[in-house]
Amino acid sequence: MIRHNLVYKILALAIATFLWAYVNAERNPQSTRIVTVPLQVRNLAGGYTAEPSVSEVSVTVTGPKLAVDAVRLSDVSAWIDLSRVRPLRGVAVSRAKVRVRVVGAEDGNLSVAAKPSAVSVRVEAIRSKRLPVELRLMSAPPLGYGFAEPVLQPAFVGVSGKASDVARVKHIVLPLTYSSLGKPIDGEFEVIPVDADGSRVDNVVLDTQTVHLKMNVVEVPATKTVVVSENIVGRPKYPAKVVRVSVVPPSVTIEGKPKILIGIGTIETEEISIEGASSSVTRQVSLRVPPGIRVLGPTRVNVTVTIEQGE
C-alpha cells in the first residue's frame, strides 16, 4: 500500500519541501552584515608588548536575516593568540591568524569571516632603567644674580617601555626658564625624556612626571670696564706748559653690585702734583676706588705728564 503510487508521493513531498523552503526564504532571507571591531591580543607572555600591523578588523557575518540582525556589536570579538611567540633577542616579528567569535554562531546558522584573516605582529621585550634628573637652564639669570646649587626631589627618575624606545632615552631633563627677578625657586616642574640629540622620546613611561626643584637665587658681582681719569693738580713753572698726559693702563675692570656699577663711568687716580715743575713728571699712583667696588688687577697706574718750555 505504501508503495502504491510511490513516485507521485515522492514528487508531492519534494514539491512540499520546496514550497516550505521558498516560503521560509521569503519570510527570512539570507543576509550579510559587516562590523568593525578592535583586534585583541591574547596570551602574550609577561614582560613583553605587542604591536599588530592593524588595530581593527572587519568581520563579515552571513546567515538568516533574523539571526544576523540579532547580532550586536558586543557579540563580535576578534583576536590573535601569541602564546607561542617568544622573542629570542628581545624582538620578534611573526604572522598570526585572526580568530573570530560571534555569539549565536555556535549552532551553525551563522558563518563568520575576518578581513584581514592574518596580520603581522611585532613582539618586543619591556625594559626599564633609572637616570639622574638634569637641570637645563633655558635662560640666563638677570644681571647681578646667579643660581645656587639646585636641590631635586627625586634626583633619579625611572623610565620604562619597549626596549628600543628605552634605549633611545639618554637623559631626563628639567627645562627651566627663569623670569622672577631675585626670587628663589620652589615648586614642581615637568621632566622630559630625551635622546642624545635632545629630542623628546615618546612612547615611554616615567615613574613620575614632575620633580620638586628648590634653588636659591643669589646676588653675584658684575663687572665693568671704565676709563682711568688722571687727577692733576698745580701748574708747571712759567713759561713751561703741559702738552699731554698719558695713563698706563688707560682703563681697568671693576667689580661690584650692578646698582653701584651703573653710576660709574670713570675711576680717578690719586692727586698728581705738577706745581712748579719745569720738566715732565712721571708718577705711579693708586686709584681712588669707590666703596663697594673692587678693581680686578693692579690698583696702581703710571701717569706721565709731558711738560715743555714755552716761548
Terminal-residue alpha carbon distance, the chain? 171
Instruction: Pick the last residue of a domain from 116, 144, 178.
Output: 116
Same-domain pairing of 107 and 38: yes
For residue 74, give every residue at least 6 positions away whose Cβ sits within 8 Å of its Cβ, in sequence order, or none: none
Same-domain pairing of 209 and 278: no
Question: E strand or H helix at 250, and its extent?
Answer: none
7 assigned to some structural domain? no
Contact 37, 78 (CB under 8 A): yes
Domain containing 92 equals 33-116
What are the angstrom distances between the C-alpha of 90 and each of 83, 125, 127, 131, 305? 16, 5, 10, 22, 84
Same-domain pairing of 235 and 200: no
Per-residue pLDDT of the chain (311 residues; tens, 9 = 90+): 445 566 655 666 666 565 555 555 555 588 899 999 999 999 998 888 999 999 999 999 999 888 888 889 999 999 999 988 877 677 888 899 999 999 877 777 888 999 999 999 999 999 999 999 999 998 877 767 888 899 999 999 999 999 989 999 999 999 998 877 678 899 999 999 999 999 999 999 999 999 999 999 888 888 889 999 999 999 999 889 999 999 999 999 999 888 888 889 899 999 999 999 889 999 999 999 999 899 999 999 999 999 898 76
Neighbours of 9 (CB within 10 A): 12
CA atoms of 49 and 91, how far apart (whole Å): 10
Same-domain pairing of 53 and 96: yes
Q: What is the CATH number of the domain that holds 143?
A: 2.170.120.40
Same-domain pairing of 239 and 302: yes
Instruction: Pick the last residue of a domain from 219, 235, 267.
Output: 219
Burial of 64 (0-12, 13-18, 19+ CB in 10 A): middle
Domain count, the chain: 3
Same-domain pairing of 211 and 231: no
42 assigned to some structural domain? yes
Same-domain pairing of 104 and 151: no
Cis bond leading into 52, ω under 30°?
no
22 assigned to some structural domain? no
Same-domain pairing of 93 and 79: yes
Same-domain pairing of 137 and 167: yes
